[in-house]
Chain A
Amino acid sequence: MLIGLELTNYALFSHLSLGLTAPDVAALDDLSAVGEFYPLGQLSAIVGKNDSGKSALFAALGFLSDCLIHDVPFASAAGTRGGFAALKTHGSEGPMRLSMTFRKDRETFLTYSVGLDSDVHNRPYVKDEDVLLTTFKDGKKETRTLLQVAGGEGKVVARNGEESVAMVDRRHLSLGAYGRLLNYADLCWIYAQITRWFIASDDTEEEPLTGHTKGGHRHVSPRFDNIRNVLEYMEREDPRRYEETLAYIRERVPDFKRIGDAFLDHGQRSGSKRLFSLLLLLTDPKPRPLLCLDYPDQQMYHDAIDVLMFEIREYLRRHPTCQIFLTTYNPNTIEALRPGEVYLFERPEENSSVKVHAVGRSEKVRAMLKEGIGMASIWYGGYFEPEPK
């Protein structure tokens, strides 16, 4: 599980800190104190005014994932990203830094930190990269460096000891190399996490369409444009499961008529199609570790939102190590959330840095919810914002 992250000098985040971050792991004395750092849980919802950076967070995760799967220059230019110079915070000094904290199991924390910068020609390169493993065994805390690379050189820890690292170029992340080799088990684990993130947001809109190719697709694509292919695959692979899944979804999508060409060819814009696609995504037997859904409740009637939120809860219950991040400004969605799941993004002035407030920290919010006041009313009353000092 991704329990925390830090972004430095990425787009409008000069510094963004969410959940339990790398410095927090370093400061952690005891597993019982984890809650005090408000780690990200299975469901995290980001609310905030327009242009407060909500979608930019998903873009950052997508960027990191692409850097790992491909390389930094490719990732910087892919889709609508516009190159590294456009991604790095304007006027920032120092490299861009992306830091992810994972909790692999109750006692095991892995942090992955990447520093990226560009040369005089604005060509991006990997400045530094490291992976730290922190374990708590029998109350004893141990931290080991599994990977440490700077300037293209460093060291990595394999099963049988330490090895030196020498990258052929500065375009590729070392994790991209070692994470593909089973001999480096923990690095493989992190690589599998990050590269399997599902980022459904407007940033992915410009990518080549996958849906117009023929044939079965196993998984729903982040553009939600291969529904037909996924259904085809499912029908061929396991007809019984196919019928069951369709019946399950049909019962839950209000106004569902039948799956015909007309239904499937409507763009993602239609609320019913959107709900259908999301429910199909949630039935995936091999779910992704993290789904990032940008305004999944767009254009959805309130009863459809109730269905979506329930199915999200059920999905997370079935898959205790899976996570969903979503952005929203719909009161019906917010009504279905708990304080600990909500993060408010604020950008006080147009060019200032984004501030994050974990609503779970507010005793007032928790107390009001306990007394039966709904989250939407609490939000309307402005209680998601931090208290004035």
Chain B
Amino acid sequence: MGLLSKKDAKLITDPLADNNPITIQVLGICSALAITAELKASIVMGISVMAVLGIGNVVISLMRNIIPSKIRIIVQLVVAAALVIVVDQILKAFSYELSKTLSVFVGLIITNCIIMGRFEAFALGNGPWRSFLDGIGNAAGYAIILVIVGFFRELLGSGTLLGFRVLGDPIEKTGLYALGYENNGFMLLSPMALIVVGVIIWVQRYKNRALIED
């Protein structure tokens, strides 16, 4: 990596696994769970958060010396809200159906704890370039979990991926369904999102024993 120094590259790779915002730092769970019944919605949500966090981190970092510390939370909220409005309007313009599916959860990116957490913990104390990398890295870590959860929920719940029938047709009984396989409609309901994330945490901590809480 000629472009990034080793320290900078770590800013991106760290949140992907060992310091993942969802499974380790426990931030931004709200939206992560509610919209993951479909893979497509998860991917769009991941990209939206990446845009808001990447740009927002740069903005906050550029203003870090002029924000009075007493009102910094309000300043952060306003920056996040402005960016989210832009994302929301873009979604409404180019993919209206999807913006209906995501409903209020686009708006809830504003109060997504990842956004506030990174603004507060990183962007207020670091330069714009490093803040940008940090924002992208954390959003990518968030998006990865969303995509994993969305993948399993859509595959097991409705037998499709991104809307394509990968397991055959359940009505005409082709593919796996010919063998008597049935979709597990339960996976589409909200409680299963929690349990899938719980299992991801379990697997991750089983592989990396250092992360186990006591």
A and B: interacting chains: no
Partner-B contacts on A (CB < 8 A):
none
